């Protein structure tokens, strides 16, 4: 997400609603922009903007929205869309733990779409 280029509520809502119309389980990765090459005068995307995008995605019905390029913010982890508990804890791109059991949340039983290496179903 590039500040003042593609981070308006309207544009984020349109993106989220389009993804949700295809499949609510499609992960949406909203990544922090860092100035580089020909855009050195553009600021870094604020973490608050990424959080706003996650909220917009959730309101549109998306089950999995991730914040990228902000290691340690919590936005890179997978949360249960039903009960909100952390299912796959990550730091950046490193997976620290995976609590998904038989493709479901161990706390509430919500089915979690995906292919899981610990899935024994």
Give the global pTM: 0.89
- Residue 9 parent element (H or E): helix 9-22
Kindly report the backbone phi and psi dihedral angles of residue 50, in degrees, each rounded to the nearest multiple of 5, phi listed first.
-65, -40
Q: Where are the domains of the chain?
A: 1-72, 77-121
The pLDDT tens digits of the residues spanning 59-77 come to 999 999 999 999 988 899 9
**What is the CB neighbour count within 10 angstroms for residue 110?**
16
**Which H/E stretch holds residue 112?**
none
Instruction: Encode pLDDT of 69-106 as tens digits.
Output: 999 888 999 999 999 999 999 998 899 999 999 999 99
Please give the torsion angle defined by the CA atoms of residues 23, 25, 83 and 96, in that order, rounded to the nearest 10 degrees: -170
């Amino acid at each position: 997400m590039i500040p003042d280029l593609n981070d308006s509520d309207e544009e984020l809502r349109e993106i989220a609603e389009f993804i949700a119309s295809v499949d609510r389980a499609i992960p949406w990765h909203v990544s922090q922009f860092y100035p580089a090459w020909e855009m050195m005068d553009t600021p870094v995307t604020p973490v608050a903007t990424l959080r706003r995008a996650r909220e917009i995605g959730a309101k549109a019905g998306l089950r999995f929205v991730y914040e990228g390029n902000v290691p340690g913010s919590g936005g890179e982890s997978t949360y249960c869309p039903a009960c909100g508990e952390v299912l796959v804890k990550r730091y950046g791109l490193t997976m620290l733990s995976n609590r998904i059991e038989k493709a479901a949340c161990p706390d509430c039983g919500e089915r979690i779409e995906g292919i899981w290496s610990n899935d024994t179903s």
